[in-house]
Homo-oligomer: A and B are copies of this chain.
Amino acid sequence: MILNSISVDCVIFGFDKSGLKVLLNQIDREALQNALPKQASSDQIKQIYEKHPVLTQDNYWSLFGEHVPEQQDLDEFAKDLLFQATGLNDVYLQQINAFGSLDRVPYTRVITIGYYALINPDYYSLRQSNLAKSLQWFNLNELPTLCFDHEIIIQQALNKLRQEVMYHPVGFHLLSEKFTLTEIQSLYEVILNKKMDTRNFRKKLAKMELLIDSGEKQQNVAHRAAKLYQFDIQVYEKLKMEGLNFRIE
């Protein structure tokens, strides 16, 4: 049994040099048609289509989400969804909010609980499950038209991420295990939408003592190779508790 009136939607964030990305799911028109109430009159359907023009396209994009099974813990279910979409298990996953406008879904009343996840780029292309064949990464500022209120959910996810990243060391979950200082800086610049000064940024990082020099360097780059760092899990746990201040400039 599933709970008809509750769903979970996941905003799955990734990051690479071209910026912040979201993993979206393509749904075809048929799947939607089946979801419309069987006994809906053509007038009703017309109304629904007028209100939600995206539904008349041949296919459209949405967040990865599902209705919640009656017999499953909410957070567990969100983890499962994330596993279906990415094949990953230990992922940073946070609730955003519940979205409960009356008309957010056209044909029925559904309240959705939004989650956001931060995916490490070493893994995010490894797997495309059957269920997730239709998944694709989109750059945050080149989103396709999205169904329902999913654009709002993404926007709110980004707001939460911004808040979180300024005061807790979670941004690192978007980076590979080993990363360069420039990568972290550009991550922060993209998330906070703010240019930062390299020297000051590095001083701030250094003072936290969160990073360990891995001893390795970038390979095959057409310029001076940057050092690769890892982060120190003990210090990470400490900062996760205490918080940090990453409001720069």
Which residues from B are CB-within-8-Å of A163?
167
Q: Are B95 and A73 in contact (CB under 8 A)?
A: no
Which residues from B are CB-within-8-Å of A3?
5, 109, 111
The CA of A6 and the CA of B99, in the complex, are separated in Å by: 12
Chain A residues numbered 44-83 whose CB sits less than 8 Å from any CB in chain B = 68, 70-75, 77
The CA of A247 and the CA of B243, in the complex, are separated in Å by: 10
The CA of A245 and the CA of B247, in the complex, are separated in Å by: 10
Q: How many residues of chain A have a CB within 8 Å of chain B?
A: 26
**Interface of chain A, main secondary structure:** mixed
Chain A residues numbered 67-118 whose CB sits less than 8 Å from any CB in chain B = 68, 70-75, 77, 95, 97-102, 109, 111, 113
**Could you say which of A71, A74, A75 has the most chain B C-beta atoms within 10 Å of its C-beta?**
A74
Q: Are B74 and A111 in contact (CB under 8 A)?
A: yes
The quantity of this chain's copies bound in the complex is 2
Q: Are A71 and B102 in contact (CB under 8 A)?
A: yes
Which residues from B are CB-within-8-Å of A95?
97-98
The CA of A73 and the CA of B110, in the complex, are separated in Å by: 11
Q: Are B5 and A102 in contact (CB under 8 A)?
A: no
Kindly provide the distance from the CB of A4 to the nearest chain B CB, expressed in whole angstroms: 8
Kindly provide the distance from the CB of A116 to the nearest chain B CB, expressed in whole angstroms: 13
The CA of A6 and the CA of B74, in the complex, are separated in Å by: 12
User: Which one of B5, B68, B97, B101 contacts A100 once the chains associate, using CB atoms below 8 Å?
Assistant: B68
A-B contact pairs, 20 of them (CB 8 A): A3-B109, A3-B111, A5-B5, A5-B70, A6-B6, A6-B111, A68-B111, A70-B109, A71-B102, A73-B101, A74-B98, A74-B99, A74-B111, A77-B100, A95-B98, A98-B98, A111-B113, A163-B167, A243-B247, A245-B247
- Extra pairs beyond A74-B100, A245-B245 (17, CB < 8 Å): A3-B5, A3-B109, A3-B111, A5-B6, A5-B70, A6-B6, A6-B111, A68-B111, A72-B102, A73-B102, A75-B100, A77-B100, A95-B98, A98-B98, A98-B113, A111-B113, A243-B247
